Amino acid sequence: MRPVAVVGTGKTPFGAFPERDLRSLAVESVHKCLENSGLTADQAEAFYLGNFAGPSFVGQNHLAPYIATEAGIRDVPCTRIEAACASSGSAFFHAWAAVAAGIYDIVLVAGVEKMTSQSTARVAEILAGAGDMAGEMAAGATFPALFAMIAKRHMYEFGTTREQLAQVAVKNHHHGAMNPMAHMRKEITVEKALAGKMICDPLTVFDCSLVSDGAACVALAAVDRARDFRAKPVRVLGIAQTSGPVALDQKESITTFEAVRRAGEKAYKMAGVAAADIQFAELHDCFTIAEILATEDLGFVPKGQGGPYAASGATALGGARPVNASGGLKSKGHPVGATGVAQICDVVEQLRGEAGERQIAGARLGLAQNLGGSGATAVVTILGLE
């Protein structure tokens, strides 16, 4: 396996864009990535697309060549990968593997979702397809209900409080308010988070990520080619994708995602680092409890200490290990197929020193964690400077 680097990034803003279609969002991110890297479309030897539910959200299948052709990418393999909310994290993993194996020297990886063209009820129905349709969903459980059960159990086992969940939301909204690309640039207080509309006890509207439109793209290249391009290369030091049961009742414990834990261990081993070495992270906060679980499953804190860790300020900008300096899914937005690649873009931005007022001083080693469903797919990527 040869070393691989990210040599370009491009993102659209995340938000609700009734005037935009899925393809135009994806193509914008590709063109921004090409401009950032100095690549031309005809230099891409393959195109990978992460997308969860384009056929359901917008009625379009065969999305990879549909987008690639419009972006000027022709006569190369174009592949769509679906892994629920980890779709583009998985696309990134497979693109990295192809470059690392020497199959290609240069590939483009994009992620996109156009969600706001559907009603909230229909969005919930489409997202439910990432869960156990024959069991949980047939019984009426949606993802807010599943993560509410996870939160309740975590509270029961470890004493986690609603105030600690709220601290995650407050922190991520604070970060997102400084992010010009974020969907919801809005500060909130703990009091407001606690008083929000109850979605599924104990989760209020402020514990839940946003329904968003958006796209992101990165260029990957073999490290021996990385200096040929315009942008500062960032090394993929470690990466792993793992999977676990789709349904909660098949898990040994619902207060840990074994797929995240195993992916973290594999990525740390590949990178030759430990959890304590990670300076900052972009974690998959589809719900506030998911960020708390991720800090535990990735070894940032012992099991059960994620709540106090969130409340301590350690995960805020200026803290010991900032988490979701982008605003996370909670404030930046969560166009599900775009989220994994967008997290990579956000980590690369920090490592290049391009995050503006959200910049983490001395950032040299960061981690991105992308989750599919209620822990059925996990992708963990560790990125660093040469």
Does residue 218 share a domain with residue 200? no
The pLDDT of residue 193 is: 97
- The answer to whether 346 and 92 are in contact (CB under 8 A) is no
Examine the domain organization and report whether 170 and 224 are in the same domain: no
The residue annotated as part of the active site, out of 183, 217, 334, 345, is 334
Say yes or no: 301 and 157 in one domain. yes
Domain assignment of residue 289, yes or no: yes
pLDDT value of position 227 = 86
pLDDT average, residue stretch 170-175: 98
Note whether residue 168 is domain-resident.
Answer: yes
Mark which of 199, 234, 269 sits at the end of a domain.
234
What is the pLDDT at residue 142?
92
Host domain of residue 277: 142-208+237-384
The predicted pLDDT at position 231 comes to: 86
Q: Please tell me which residue in 33, 78, 85, 345 is annotated as part of the active site.
A: 85
CATH assignment of the domain containing 220: 3.40.47.10
124 domain-assigned: no
CA distance 294 to 345: 19
The Cα 49–Cα 111 span in angstroms is: 6
* Each residue's pLDDT tens digit, 257-303: 999 999 999 999 999 999 999 999 999 999 999 999 999 999 999 99
Please indicate, yes or no, whether residues 51 and 185 belong to a single structural domain of this protein: no
Mean pLDDT calculated for residue range 183-200: 97
User: Within this chain, do residues 184 and 223 fall inside the same structural domain, yes or no?
Assistant: no
- Return the pLDDT at 242: 98
One domain for residues 64 and 174: no
End-of-domain residue from the set 234, 249, 282? 234
Candidates 355, 356, 360, 363; CA nearest to 383 is 363
pLDDT over 80 (residue 36): yes
What is the CA angle 258-259-265, rounded to 5?
90
Give 386's pLDDT tier (boundaries 50, 70, 90).
confident
In terms of domains, do 87 and 189 share one? Answer: no
Is there a single domain that holds both residue 366 and residue 271? yes
Model pTM? 0.97
Tokens 């074994």 label which residue? 258
**Residue 286 annotated as catalytic:** no
Is residue 62 among the annotated active site residues? no
Number of domains within the chain: 2
Mean pLDDT over all residues of the chain? 97
Per-residue pLDDT reduced to its tens digit, 65-82: 999 999 999 999 999 999
pLDDT category, 230, cuts 50, 70, 90?
A: confident
Residues 197 and 215 in one domain: no
